[in-house]
Structure formats: structure tokens, C-alpha cells
Amino acid sequence: MTNSAETPYDLVVFGATSFVGQILTRYLLDTYGVGKSVNWAIAGRSEAKLNTLKCELGKEAAELAAILADAGDESSLQSMCGQTRVIISTVGPYALYGEPLVQACVRAGTDYCDLTGEVQWIRKMVDRYEDEAKASGARIVHCCGFDSIPSDMGVWFLQNKSEELFGAPCQDVRMRVKVAKGEFSGGTVASMMNIAKEAAADPELRKELANPFSICPPDHRSETRQPSLKGAEYDKTFGVWLAPFVMGAINTRIVHRSNALQNTRYGKEFTYDEAMMTGRGVKGRLAAYGIIGALGAFFTASAIKPTRWLVEKFVPQPGEGPSPEAQKAGFYDLRFVGHTVDGKTIITKVTGDRDPGYGSTGKMLGEAGMCLAFDVPADKAGGFWTPSSLLDGKLMERLTGKAGLTFDVLETR
């Protein structure tokens, strides 16, 4: 990893002028200031936009350093990597723009985190750069936003409590989204549309996207069939109807990779899935079918060129998002149910105090970067990690102490 004595900055926010980048930058400024406990900088391809951002952030941001770097310019990325120990990237869709920076970080030994949810791209990065990252010492941590920190750290928390209370981890865990108030980010929608487009043209990619162990090491597999909700289903634990959760496609993969990277701490036959609660009775069942229909229509239309333009016309675009007031009004409440091999049960809760796709994601991403910069032991191996497998309890402290998340045990039996 990059030696701190040789670099002027602890971390750099790349893509600071993007919508989420601005939220992240504001969060870091409000929480850590400039040139106090943390030496950090902003980066992007437009000097004018970076200067405008500094003006909008206020007087204190005048001291904030700005670095010019372009996702398509290898030399500028190398220069940026040489100036910092950690880079936080908000420049997506990552499948289109993300590889050059990952490559530059890996070769420089610079730690990196982002908020991608593009499982097919993560697999490519692991395949292409894992050995080199291990050699250089670069720690790469994808999925440090709403996908997938609440899921990944939520399971990590539940398993810690299960081991503490029952003496063993839970072999089966289910996450249920009780409520999530907020909008999808334009970047997330663009990434989902790109995945649909790629999958429509590539049968091998469709096969990979259906594999729950897609981003796990090749030797990590299970003989137990993984649950995967495709239609409406009744949940007896909570007495509600369920619909598929669109983020489950990436969150489940990250949780399984975390299990693998922790030497199958959750068990070799560990099972995990995610779904949305849609309500009770007939109303809840109809709501589940409505969500299923909407998701099907979105992915079908996104995959076909003649209808893709229509989808693009009505969904949020990258760089667009809700007002600060709307972000503060958002929140989410996730429930986790775990069962041990001998039948014991634990139910836990994870909440966030901002809308998931913007306000909360900005804070989680910022604390993941801070954790990489200050909390990970210097001798921790390079490679492609997950939030819980690398950042574990230190990230938990940051999430609950600064980022507005809570983790609680609701019931054991």
C-alpha cells in the first residue's frame, strides 16, 4: 500500500462534483473539516466544476486541495494515486468508467473503495487484478454504499451476536426490507440499465448473474441450494407478503464473498437471501405482484434498444437527485432473521437516518474511506475485500457513531 510518509493526503474523493460526490464531500467537510485530523482532497476532470463546488461548500472549503484527474487519462490517474493512501470513487457506471482507476490503484498500492453494485464488473476486476493487488498491497473494497454495507455489516452483526449468545453462527439468514423511504440514484439506475443491456447480449453473463457465488473464490461453493425469491411469497416470521428486492442480486453476492474471505465463518452450507415486505393480507399480496411487474417491465425495456430511450426519459439521470430536505426525510429499516443448525433463532434490525441511495450512502462511503485510511492495520494483506471482511468492527463503530446507522437485537429464542 502507498506509504503515508510519501503522500500529502490521507484520502482523495474522485468524482467529487457528481451528485453523490457532492454529498460525500459535504459530509467529510462537516465531520472532519479541512487540514485538521484528516488531510484530504477532491478530484475530478473539470477544474471549473471543482472550483464551483468549493465555492458552494463555503469558506472552510477554500483550503481544500483540488486534483485534476480523468477516468480516461491513465497518467492523471497514476499521478492522483501517488498523492494519497486512499481513493474514494463515485464515478460510475463503473462497468463503463471504473477499470482504469482500479488498475492505477492496484499498481500504485493505493487503497480504494467505491459504491458500485455491478456484480459482473466486480468479477472482472477480481479476475484481472487480484494477484497484482496482493503483490502491491492495495486493498480494494467495492460496494460501500447502501449496496452493500447495511446487508454485509447487518449479517456480520447478527453472526457476532449469534456466536456470543448461542456459541455458533446462524447457518441460514434472511434479510427483509421493512421500509425504505427515498429514491434510487441516477447512477444506480444507469448501472442497472447497463447490466440489463449487457446481459441481453451475453448468455454467459446471464448465467453468471444467476450464480450466488459469482464473486467468491473458485473453491467456495455450497451443496445447499440458495434461496432466491422470484415471485410473491408469504413470510410466516413477520406475517407479511414479500416481493423480490432489486438490490438483493448484489448484496447476496457480497455476503457470500464475506463468508468466503472469513474462512467460511458462517458455515460452508450458509444460505442467505433478501426480499421486500409489501404488507399484510390482500393489499400486501397485490403490492408484491405490482413490484414484480414493475421490475420485469424495467429490465425488459432496458434490455431492448427501441424501448431503452423511453426508460431513460422517465428515470433519474446520473447527476440528478433529491433535495437535501428530501434526503433528511428519508430512512430505512431492515430486519434480519437467523437460524442456527440446532434451531435457535435471532432477529436483528439495521436502520439508517437518511434516504438510502444518497444521504445514507454518502455517509457510509465516507466512513468506509476513513476506516481504510486510519483503522486497517498496515500489515493487512492487499486484495479485493468486502466491507465486513476487511473493515469489520472498526467500520461498525464509525457507522453507529457518525453515519447515522443503528444495529440492534430484537429477539432471540
Q: Span 154-175, mean pLDDT?
A: 98
Rg (CA), the chain: 21
Tens digits of residue pLDDT in 301-334:
667 666 765 656 666 666 667 778 888 889 999 9
Tens digits of residue pLDDT in 13-68:
999 999 999 999 999 999 999 988 999 999 999 999 999 999 999 999 999 999 99
- What are the start-end ranges of the E strands in 343-382? 345-352
Tens digits of residue pLDDT in 122-151:
999 999 999 999 999 999 999 999 999 999
Q: Does the predicted TM-score (pTM) go above 0.95?
A: no
- Position 120 pLDDT exceeds 80: yes
pLDDT for 246 = 87
Tens digits of residue pLDDT in 336-348:
999 999 999 999 9
Tell me the H-state helices in 202-272: 203-209, 248-261
Phi-psi region of 8 (alpha: psi -120 to 50; beta: other; left: phi over 0): alpha
C-alpha cell read off for 50:
471543482
CB atoms within 10 A of CB 357: 30
CB atoms within 10 A of CB 263: 7
What's at 307, amino acid-wise?
T
pLDDT for 313 = 62
pLDDT for 1 = 60
Strand order in the sheet with 331-339: 233-235, 240-244, 271-279, 172-181, 331-339, 345-352, 405-412
Strand pairing partners for 117? none
336: helix, strand or coil: strand
Grid cell 432471540 is found at 412
Residue 345 to residue 74: CA distance in whole angstroms: 51
pLDDT for 323 = 79
pLDDT for 197 = 74
pLDDT for 206 = 76
What lies within 8 Å, CB to CB, of 37 at 6+ separation is none
Are 352 and 17 within 8 A, CB to CB? no
C-alpha cell read off for 371:
476506516
Grid cell 469558506 is found at 59
Residue 148 to residue 130: CA distance in whole angstroms: 20
Name the nearest CA neighbour of 250 among 385, 120, 356, 91.
120
Name the nearest CA neighbour of 275 among 213, 211, 229, 336.
229
Tens digits of residue pLDDT in 77-103:
999 999 999 999 999 889 999 999 999
The number of residues in the chain equals: 413
Burial class (CB in 10 A: 0-12, 13-18, 19+), 89: buried
In order, the DSSP letters of 91-104 are ---HHHHTHHHHHH
Strand pairing partners for 409? 348
pLDDT for 2 = 60
Residue 53 to residue 61: CA distance in whole angstroms: 9
pLDDT for 312 = 62
pLDDT for 198 = 73
Are 321 and 153 within 8 A, CB to CB? no
Grid cell 437485537 is found at 409
